[in-house]
Amino acid sequence: MLSKVVKKSVIAAALALLAQSAFAVENIKIGSVLSVSGPAAFLGDPELKTLQMYIEKINAEGGVLGRKLELVHYDDGSDAAKANGFTKRLIESDKVDVLIGGTTTGATMAMAPLVDKAGLPFISLAGAVVIIDPVKKWVFKTPHTDRMAAEKVFEDMKKRGISKVGMLSETSGFGSSGRKESQTVAAKYGITLVADETYGPKDTDITAQLTRIKGAAGVQAVFVFGLGQGPAVVTKNYGQLGMTALPMYQSHGVASDEYIKLSGKAAEGVRLPTPALLIGAMLPAADAQKTIVVGYDKAYKERYKIDPSTFGGYALDALNLSVDAIKRAGSTDKEKVRTALETTKGFVGTTGVFNMSPTNHMGLDLSAFRMVEVKSGDWQLLK
């Protein structure tokens, strides 16, 4: 018979082995707060669908570091206050390892102070430059900034001899920031904003603002900065007012097939900057992004029977960047993962090629944007 000492040793060893096994199979928790309902749902819904689909795929292929990924997600209903509350829950109760979300700028900025205090790696899916400028230690983002969008648009305008522009922006966080950044960089491209109008995210008629822009002295083009259904309302009103002689430019906030569907024929000729995903099939074979954007497009259509959007692409990039960082860190230690994110180099995503640093928590340049124009109800890549 075994002595009591031996028995205790065997039991202790067995318990230790069980504890190690339990630890080894503990899931890696990916927290997420997205606007799956409310005015920003057309952004948040594809983001959630993308995370769900690719986390299943990663798990089916063996997970990360021998562990399964677990998505813990909440819908903020396009309400920044709710985004703050759910972030607190993810940190304190769910104890997630990484946070992806903040569909809108407002939600992201409501979440940022909490992740900073908790020391949690957070990758935002929102556009405003304020998210990463100034740099926040724990906050990163995948979409291009509103400043970049303004620069890409003004670059195209300058090429076409356009110098006097009527600005129309949404009063949301995204639109307000876009307006400010457009004002900041306009002079760099020889652009003068001869009109400066705004509209609310829920406005159903914007003809008064457009009429004032139409009457502005010397105006040569209209630049709209907004997201959701608002820009489509603007586009319809623009068509109804017979303003098509004035070229219309939109921001990347409408880089989705849904914008064309909502705007109808009035969208014909509209130009905007977009990530490669929107025109993946048009990219040359040698383009670094072609494989990932075409692969994502195919997988999303097969799974959901609808076209993907660039917003879902932002979520895919955030997930893949997180997984890459965890692999390079060799653990889910939050500081190690944060450092790995910050040192990301040459990472090809749907949004562009990411090269991050301690002073750049986005890592994209203007080459990550492609200029497109609506032609015959579809997108056409501009040379």
Contact residues for 309 (Cβ-Cβ < 8 A; gap 6+): 42, 43, 46, 255, 256, 257, 258, 277
pLDDT value of position 137: 98
Contact residues for 290 (Cβ-Cβ < 8 A; gap 6+): 276, 280, 283, 284
Contact residues for 102 (Cβ-Cβ < 8 A; gap 6+): 33, 83, 108, 109, 111, 112, 122, 124, 125, 126, 131
Contact residues for 254 (Cβ-Cβ < 8 A; gap 6+): 226, 227, 231, 232, 272
Contact residues for 106 (Cβ-Cβ < 8 A; gap 6+): 80, 83, 172, 173
Contact residues for 286 (Cβ-Cβ < 8 A; gap 6+): none
Q: What is the pTM of this model?
A: 0.84
- Helices (runs of H) and strands (runs of E) counted in the chain: 12, 14
pLDDT value of position 227: 85
pLDDT value of position 3: 56
CB 164 within 8 A of CB 220: yes
- The DSSP 8-state label assigned to residue 246 in this structure reads S
Structure tokens at 122: 């957070």
What residues of the chain score a pLDDT lower than 70? Answer: 1-24
pLDDT value of position 119: 98
The burial of 286, by beta-carbon neighbours within 10 Å (0-12 exposed, 13-18 middle, 19 or more buried), is given as exposed
55, 60, 238, 260, 327 from 264: Cα distances, Å: 35, 41, 12, 6, 45
Dist CA 314 CA 253 (whole Å) = 12
pLDDT value of position 22: 46
pLDDT value of position 382: 92
Dist CA 255 CA 278 (whole Å) = 7
CB 111 within 8 A of CB 83: yes
In 10 A of CB 333, how many CB atoms?
13
pLDDT value of position 4: 57
Residue 181 is which amino acid? E
